[in-house]
Amino acid sequence: MKTSKSLLALCLFLAFTACTAAPAVPPISPIPPTGTATEPPAASATPEPTGTPLPASTPTKLPTPTAEFPTLTPLVTAPFMFMAGWSPDSLMLAYWTFTEEEMLDMPVEGAAGYPSGTLHFLDVTNNTTCDYPFAAHYSFIQPTFKWLEDGRALIRGDDGAIRAGVPCGAEFETLTGVEAEVLLGHPEFSPDGKYRAQAEIEYDPEAGLVFIELTITELASGAIASTVAWQEDLGIGVYSSPGGQWVGNELFIVATSLDQGPLLVRPGEPPIQAAPELFGVEGVCAGGGFCGVTVYLTAAPGPEPGNFHAMLWHGGDPSQYPNLMLYHSESGEVEELAFHDIRWPGFSPNGLLLLLHSPVDDYNLWVRPVEEVGGRAIPLISATLGGWAYALNDEYLAFGDEATQDIYVAALADGLILNTWDIGKYQPWQLLWAPNSARLAVVGAWYDQTGEEEYALFLAGPVTPPP
């Protein structure tokens, strides 16, 4: 049971941290301009950050826990639970709970999602709760839940119907067609609904390979804009359409592939192999990485319409792969950063910050502005993270420390610890900021050697502003 849940927690985390798309993408500069890093950086023999620019100092150790830390009281406990999201006005929190019987139906590796459970809506103003009146489960394959800006919740039911309504109030109405899928954030559709990216997936267990063919279609005309094929490692995980991510209305990114490395696809144009054509990294070895080490691409929209930033990073032993490389689409410049690893997903919600780390004893964390080429990495904290989340205003970072089982809020400007809360016997598991960045929801997990498990929901806040 515990192994299965660890896998599910990872899937859930990746789903909640997807980047928000930007309107459009300008022409991509295939080769960095003169003066920028065009050769792969040398691998370091130590996991400490190396290269240029170096961090100015070491992150601050967390304060020693004391009895003065305020203790949060669980609002709800259940054999298992997770949060789905805050309403745009920060007044209502959606979350799923599961009974002991439902936990027995928890999926194993390769499954498409959780069982139905019960979807609740908590009104944080008066601490009242209502339940969603239809059966609905959280899916790893297609989007299930989203808050709309007008305060309605949009939910895909077990019957396949997509319904929208104000929780604990008006009745839910059924929405259909492409519009409903775009509103729900289906990953196949570009944010403006102009294109649909669909992947045909074939498995070859004997060869240990997955063959993926992507087709991007312009919905209005039905014309095929692009077709791209690549291979993946069967052992990486569960594959589903579209096999990548839209970053804006005109750019689709494939994070990695065995035969070509990461790919950037603009409808109607040939695909771009990111490692050699954007980052100037030649000699990619067989297997899609540097001498067999897989390389990955993650990206986020920039503050200006059409711009984006992309990070080339690597899996495996830090001593065996180069430093991180950051691409700026607005100039075509490439930076080599003084770090080997990001804290996934790296980019903050608005794409302006990067969270970087070096796993030496504890996780030493730095935050780095993205826009400025050569920007300084600011030392933040040193902690063994057990769940973390950016505030949507990009001013705070909330995280749980596995060593103390406490919740901390740090100012991203200087790493100053602003708040600390104790959640008792529970390990921090999931953290979720309200959109106004004033309140934090936390799910903690507790289990003993007999296999008994319990999850609890807490609300923390308001956050103490920096002095």
Distance CA 94, CA 283 (A): 48
pLDDT at residue 226 above 90?
Answer: yes
Given this model, what pLDDT does residue 35 score?
29
Given this model, what pLDDT does residue 61 score?
58
Cα 186–Cα 190–Cα 194 angle in degrees, nearest 5: 120
Distance CA 436, CA 413 (A): 18
Of the listed ranges 22-36, 75-89, 241-255, 376-390, the least confidently predicted one is: 22-36
Distance CA 356, CA 99 (A): 38
Of the listed ranges 179-183, 317-321, 337-341, 422-426, the least confidently predicted one is: 317-321
Q: Which two tokens stand for residue 340?
A: 């080997």
Of the listed ranges 31-35, 120-124, 172-176, 427-431, the least confidently predicted one is: 31-35
Amino acid at 415: G
Do residues 282 and 237 make contact, with C-beta atoms less than 8 angstroms apart? Answer: no
Task: Find the DSSP H helices in 235-358.
Answer: 274-277
Burial of 446 (0-12, 13-18, 19+ CB in 10 A): middle
Mean predicted lDDT score pLDDT of the chain: 79
Average pLDDT over residues 198-214: 91
Given this model, what pLDDT does residue 345 score?
62
pLDDT in tens, 274-331: 988 998 876 554 445 555 567 888 898 888 878 899 998 876 665 566 688 899 999 9
pLDDT in tens, 88-119: 999 999 999 999 888 777 654 445 678 878 99
pLDDT at residue 334 above 80?
Answer: yes
| Closest C-alpha among 342, 338, 295 to residue 320 | 295
CA dist list (Å): 129 to 85, 118, 120, 124, 314? 15, 12, 7, 9, 44
Average pLDDT over residues 138-147: 86
Question: What residues does each domain of the chain span?
Answer: 188-343
pLDDT band per the 50, 70, 90 thresholds, residue 120 = very high
Distance CA 419, CA 463 (A): 7
pLDDT in tens, 49-67: 333 344 545 565 555 544 4
Contacts of 237 by beta carbon, 8 Å cutoff, 6+ apart: none
Average pLDDT over residues 423-450: 92
pLDDT in tens, 406-421: 999 988 888 888 999 9
pLDDT in tens, 335-391: 988 887 666 667 888 888 888 876 554 567 788 889 888 888 888 777 777 788 989
Pick the residue with more confidence: 201 or 321? 201
Q: How many CB atoms lie within 10 A of CB 376?
A: 13
pLDDT band per the 50, 70, 90 thresholds, residue 427 = very high
Given this model, what pLDDT does residue 10 score?
36
Given this model, what pLDDT does residue 156 score?
92
| Closest C-alpha among 126, 125, 130, 139 to residue 94 | 130
Q: Is the dihedral of CA 377, 399, 416, 90 positive or negative?
A: positive
